[in-house]
Amino acid sequence: MVCHFVRLQAFLLACLFVAGSATVHADHIRPAFVATSQEVTGGILGTNPLLTDGLNALLASNLETSPFLLEVANLDDPTYTNDPDITLNAFSGVDEDGDPTNNASGTNNFIVTPGSLDPVTGDFLSTFTGGNITNGLLTAGPGTIVISGIPLNDLTVSANFSETAAGSGIYEFTSTPTAAFLTETFLSTLPAPDPFTGTLVDVLTSFGIFPDVDADSDGTNESYSAEFVFSGISCNIVPIDPTPFDGFVATSQEVTGGILGTNPLLTDGLNALLASNLTNFPFLLEVADLDDPTYTNDPEITLNTYGGMDVDGDPTNNNDGANEFVIDSESYDDNGNIVSQFPGGDIVNNLLTAGPGTIVISGIPLNDLTVAATFSETTPGSGIFEFTSTPTAAFLTETFLVTLPAPDPFTGTLVDVLTSFGIFPDIDADNDGTNESYSAEFVFTGISCVLYGNDFGPGGPTPTEDCGNGIDDDGDSLADCDDPDCATDANCATGNQFRRGDVNGDAALNIADAIALLGFLFSGSAAPGCLDAGDVNDDGANNIADAISLLGFLFSGSAEPPAPGTNCGVDPTDTDPLDCQNPTGGC
């Protein structure tokens, strides 16, 4: 989980569960565009200049809080100059870092909202096929956009694309005027733009402007025609899987111990800071592999923890037990594995215990962490559950805390305040002989919610098996050393290790090995101490083909011998009749 400067969520995540890494996971982030402006230029909503100006100001402010995103899919020309076959997808998203001031930076990340996708197929609901780009002009459609639940059909869009600066890789676009409509039902939910009062529909009515489009073809006009011009700039999108799953969102967190809990005044300020930021930057948990949906007794569970964003952007309902959250990109590594997991857990009489697990805080691994929490149903039969953790020990690095503002009523950074109270790092987490971290103990609570995970999609990364975490990472029902993928892992290796091709066992592959093998095969020389080393092509036998394979590798550019190759390791195909009685040199 990246520790964003303005995100106190990172404080919570670093304190307890989530990993710290600022890398961009390109395998499940795709290039797209975010709208930076939208203006009404025609239609019935563009007939009154005063009203249009107010409406445009309202649209501009809403783009910050409710980003409108576009993706040019099936793109073969990354310069957006000429491409004969593209598809334009339009959808909504949430800003991953929660900072609207950098939405137009050209590199910001947005998470796709589940309402933009078909819940069954995962396809975008608003898509324009059969498009092309010619000399920087994109044309796509006809297609359909769904506005307030009403489909707008046979819409064609076009926009001019250009690079912001030569070689920057950041592009911007401006559309040609695009005809659309807005429903009366939707506009009645919007406040009137300044200087008016009431709803937007109230203002339209006062100006004698009434619906002029029968979008649902029921014989009654319920929508207002509009013509828009909009512009946008490059961004990244994090696709999600539209299939929801059960999770929990943290509702409170309090410092109860450690060196950060030694001063009551400081602790109160820190807890107030944490409480105010939990609503804006949610901390999420999933009890995976769950067989008992009442969280009463389950002999085998895994606790996953994530960072994420609130789908509806309304923090007042985060704790209602049914709110929806999307998981952010930093909660997964490049292979699609969940970064922060606590395997080998169970639930006994509503007490969940999970771990030990490892998290990374500011690049420093925190190992052997075990967590525990008590679960209960809020109301019998409600299906909504809440939890309270037992005190959990952790640490926070000075490097991280120096990026956080001091809690009220203090000024400066959090480290400034700690220093003024005579509180200094007391943990040497990286074992370099110098304390760089502050100990802390936390108690936190949470309640049920709905989660949506990242979608790696076709061609995306396949989770790889971690051979030492107790989890079936790649979904083949085999974990750690029971998985054949771990056969050559140092933690799982059995038998003598060898270098394939090191026939004479001198720790090097050269022509002497080919001579030794030929001598064994045809001249009565002694057998190699490791017959597997002589099985250069790994076909389960020692024969002249092995000598040919080795000479090809040494002198003709042929491929390296199969695993373990030129590095020490065990034979992953140990079902063959050959054996390795003695390890080869240096293994």
Percent helix, strand and coil across the chain, each to the nearest 5: 20, 35, 45
Q: Minimal CA–CA distance to 173: which of 66, 29, 33, 31?
A: 33
Residue 456 has pLDDT above 50, yes or no: yes
Going along the chain from its start, the domains and CATH numbers come out as 22-238 (no CATH), 245-452 (no CATH), 493-587 (1.10.1330.10)
- 7 or 329, greater pLDDT: 329
The pLDDT tens digits for 150-199 are 456 667 889 999 999 999 999 999 999 988 888 898 889 888 877 788 99
- 176 or 359, greater pLDDT: 176
Structure confidence at residue 19 (pLDDT) = 30
Structure confidence at residue 234 (pLDDT) = 97
Contacts for 131 with CB less than 8 Å, ≥ 6 apart: 85, 86, 87, 88, 138, 139, 140, 141
- Which H or E run contains 187? helix 184-187
Query: Using an 8 Å Cβ cutoff, are 537 and 544 in contact?
Result: no
Q: What is the rounded distance in angstroms from the CA atom of residue 549 to the CA atom of residue 379? A: 70
> Which of 45-59, 322-336, 568-582 comes out lowest in average pLDDT?
568-582
Structure confidence at residue 475 (pLDDT) = 63
Residue 247 has pLDDT above 90, yes or no: yes
Structure confidence at residue 5 (pLDDT) = 25
pLDDT band at 134 (very low <50, low <70, confident <90, very high): very high
Q: What is the rounded distance in angstroms from the CA atom of residue 415 to the CA atom of residue 402? A: 5
Q: Minimal CA–CA distance to 301: which of 286, 317, 313, 283?
A: 286
Structure confidence at residue 449 (pLDDT) = 97
Span 555-573, average pLDDT: 87
Q: What is the rounded distance in angstroms from the CA atom of residue 525 to the CA atom of residue 507? A: 20
Span 500-504, average pLDDT: 95
Span 219-232, average pLDDT: 91
The pLDDT tens digits for 136-146 are 999 998 877 76
Residue 42 has pLDDT above 90, yes or no: yes
Residue 255 has pLDDT above 90, yes or no: no
Span 20-33, average pLDDT: 58
Structure confidence at residue 59 (pLDDT) = 81
- 347 or 278, greater pLDDT: 347
The pLDDT tens digits for 77-101 are 999 999 999 999 999 999 988 888 9
Span 408-430, average pLDDT: 89
pLDDT band at 216 (very low <50, low <70, confident <90, very high): confident
pLDDT band at 346 (very low <50, low <70, confident <90, very high): very high
Structure confidence at residue 367 (pLDDT) = 56
Q: Which of 149-163, 540-554, 570-584 is predicted most confidently?
A: 540-554
Q: How far is CA 510 from the centre of its chain?
A: 47
Structure confidence at residue 25 (pLDDT) = 37
In angstroms, how far is the first alpha carbon of the chain from the final one? 38
Name the average pLDDT for the chain: 84
- 335 or 135, greater pLDDT: 135
Residue 46 has pLDDT above 80, yes or no: yes
Buried b (16+ CB within 10 A) or exposed e, 561-582: bbebbeebbbbbeeeeebebee
Quick one: what percent of the chain has pLDDT higher than 90? Answer: 45
- 306 or 461, greater pLDDT: 306
Residue 469 has pLDDT above 80, yes or no: no
Q: Minimal CA–CA distance to 359: which of 350, 348, 368, 351?
A: 368
